[in-house]
Amino acid sequence: MIRVSKRLNKLPHYAVNELATAKKRMLAQGVDVIDLSVGDADIPPPEIAVRTLNDALADQAMSRYSFQIGLIEFREAVARYMKRRFDVTVDPMTEVLPLIGSKNGLSHLPFAILDAGDICIIPEPGYPGYFGTYLSEAEVLPYPLEASKDFLIELDDLSEDQLERAGLVFLNYPNNPTSAIAPIDYLTRTISTCRKHDIVIAYDNPYCEMTFDGYKAPSILELPDAREVSLEFHSLSKTFCMTGWRLGWATGSAELIAALQKVKSYVDTGPFLAVQKAGAAVLDSAETLVESMQAEFARRRDAAVRSFRETGFEVEPPKATMYLWIETPAGLTSAQFAQRVLEDEAVVVLPGSALGSSGEGYFRIAMTVGADRMQQAAERIGRVLNKVRTVGAAT
């Protein structure tokens, strides 16, 4: 039997892989499956991205290694976007780093700044990429996100010893999976605590453009003193429906960018240059593209909230993200409910426990399909809810 590392065995189970396998099996059997499990919408990427990529592929220079320097044009487009969108000025050469998707940077950051005995604070439930910290020498401290605290990580709840040992905290607002948003006063006091205790903030901000009802998500770098302790991560995956293109960036202090770049120099050679060329074109057209994307996801959100309410679930319309975070019916774990929904009604949802034990009691749906299919999925899931309640009433 092959021996694997103790670090590998610390990694939680990655449930998304199993869901994808089950979906493929059912599709092969001719089942009409509605997949609401993974944030990968059925919307085509922007035309300008496809057109620019096609043109770039004809340029032989685009097929060379990009290394960490990447495409200067992409770095400069990021800097222009950050200035237009957030009024944040960044140096494209020292305060921007192209990433093979934001997950690429998030998962490697702990290796750049944490040592044995240091604590990394991660939200739970949370994006599974944060749990890659278990592969480092650091100690992982999950922080339970609770509705009573608006699903915010309140660092002042931790002990003085934990704060002194902490070297990194992952913050993700607008939040996956809860759709929570972070008020400015919350970010201000969190920055203050992190400066006091020398804690780096990894601010994961892939949903900053996926907002509704007039809400505009901030960059943490907008706030005074944030750059001193923060590295912000962005992705083209969600807003621009470019999940498979694997392109994102980190931005923040030159010191933190240099540390992450050094780690990445040993594990990858940067995103494909032609994709970076397409990404630059997308970012320079961001305002126009975002407007249509927001309108489509608003339609999906409204249809999903209305339909789930009609079928018996309590759901509040989120101000951001592409997710609904819904309580599971009494009597079933989130995994059991998700399994029933899959087997009985061929709808794939993500059990809350797949995102950490503190996610138990909830399931997440991603608004990956249009309004009509979303309504159909809600009706199917509602039938399972009725069955569960009927059985519960009978017992």
Instruction: Give yes or no on whether 6-44+288-387 and 47-285 have one common fold.
Output: no
Helix (H) or strand (E) holding 185: helix 184-197
346-362: pLDDT as tens digits: 999 999 999 999 999 99
pLDDT at 38 over 60: yes
* Amino acid code (one letter) for 186: Y
pTM: 0.95
pLDDT at 158 over 60: yes
Residue 75 contacts residue 98 (beta carbons within 8 Å): yes
What average pLDDT does this structure show over 292-300?
95
Greatest pairwise CA separation for the chain in angstroms? 69
pLDDT at 15 over 90: no
Burial class (CB in 10 A: 0-12, 13-18, 19+), 368: buried
The CA dihedral of 267, 269, 270, 276, to the nearest 10 degrees, is -160
Angle at 246 between CA 243 and CA 248, to 5 degrees: 100
55-108: pLDDT as tens digits: 999 999 999 999 999 999 999 999 999 999 999 999 999 999 999 999 999 999
Sorted by where each begins, the domain ranges of the chain are: 6-44+288-387, 47-285
Fold of 6-44+288-387: Aspartate Aminotransferase, domain 1 (3.90.1150)
CATH number of 47-285: 3.40.640.10
What average pLDDT does this structure show over 333-347?
93
Q: What is the mean pLDDT of the chain?
A: 94
What average pLDDT does this structure show over 227-251?
97
Task: Enter the tokens of residue 293.
Answer: 């994307």
**Which pLDDT score is estimated for 39?**
92
What average pLDDT does this structure show over 163-188?
98
pLDDT at 392 over 70: no
Burial class (CB in 10 A: 0-12, 13-18, 19+), 6: exposed
Q: How does DSSP assign 334-392, residue by residue?
A: HHHHHHHHHHHH-EE-EEGGGG-GGGTTEEEEE--S-HHHHHHHHHHHHHHHHHHHHHH
Q: What are phi and psi of 198, to 5 degrees?
A: 60, 50
161 Cβ partners below 8 Å, 6+ apart?
Answer: none
Task: Enter the tokens of residue 328.
Answer: 């599971």
Minimal CA–CA distance to 302: which of 371, 380, 233? 371
* Amino acid code (one letter) for 358: S
Please report where in the chains the tokens 């101000």 appear, as a residue.
319
**Which pLDDT score is estimated for 272?**
98
Angle between helices 47-57 and 273-284 (to 10 degrees): 150
Residue 257 contacts residue 250 (beta carbons within 8 Å): yes
What average pLDDT does this structure show over 332-355?
94
376 Cβ partners below 8 Å, 6+ apart?
Answer: 34
**Which pLDDT score is estimated for 36?**
95
Task: Enter the tokens of residue 43.
Answer: 């919307």
**Which pLDDT score is estimated for 279?**
98
